[in-house]
Amino acid sequence: MTKYFLDTCFIFHALEHEHNLIDFCSINEVSITSFNILEIEHNLKKINPFIKKRWKDFEKNAKFEIFEIDVVPGNPEREKEYVTAFDEKLLKLISDPSDAVLLVSALQNKANIITRDKHHLFTTKLENYLDKYKVRVVKELPKC
C-alpha cells in the first residue's frame, strides 16, 4: 500500500472539485500532519459552508491518520528549526518553511505528497533531492 501525505491546499481543492478523497483513503495509507489540520481549521472560518460540510464528511468517513508534530502554523522560527533538524539543505530548496515542514514529515514516513502548491514543491532541484528517498510530489490523486 502506498503512503501519502495530503497538503492543505490539495485538500481544499479536492473538496471543492468533488475528488473522492474518501475512496482514495480507503485503498491507500493517507496521513495529514497536525500542522495541516490546524491550517485547515483556521481556514474553515472563512470558507464556503459547502466546503466546510464536505470537510466534516471527510473527517467523519475517511480513513486517515493524523501525524502529530510539535510545530504549529504561524511560527516560522519553529518551522525552520523542525526542517533544519532533519536536513539543513532543505530550506535552500524550499523557500517556504511551512511547505518544508510537510516535506520533512513525509520523508520521515517515506510517503509521497499530494499538493497543489506549484511554487515551492514542484522544482527540479527538489525532485532530484527526493530521488534518494524514493518520495514523489504530485498534484493529483494517483490512479489506483
Q: Span 32-50, mean pLDDT?
A: 93
Q: State the total domains in the chain.
A: 1
Residue 97 belongs to a domain: yes
Lowest mean pLDDT: which of 23-32, 97-106, 118-127? 118-127
Instruction: Give CA–CA dist 34/92, Å, rounded.
Output: 24
Distance of CA 129 to the CA centre of its chain: 18
pTM value surpassing 0.75: yes
Q: Span 48-72, mean pLDDT?
A: 94
Q: Span 95-117, mean pLDDT?
A: 92
Residue 58 belongs to a domain: yes
Give me the residues paired with residue 4 across strands: 30, 112
Domain that holds residue 96: 3-138
CATH number of the domain enclosing 38: 3.40.50.1010
Q: Which among 95, 105, 100 is positioned nearest to 32, based on CA atoms?
A: 105
Counts for the chain of helices (H) and strands (E), in that order: 9, 5
Instruction: Give CA–CA dist 70/89, Å, rounded.
Output: 21
Instruction: Give CA–CA dist 144/42, Å, rounded.
Output: 31
Residue 144 belongs to a domain: no
Q: What is the per-residue pLDDT across 66-91, written as a single tens digit (0 to 9) for each?
A: 999 999 999 999 999 999 999 999 99
Residue 143 belongs to a domain: no
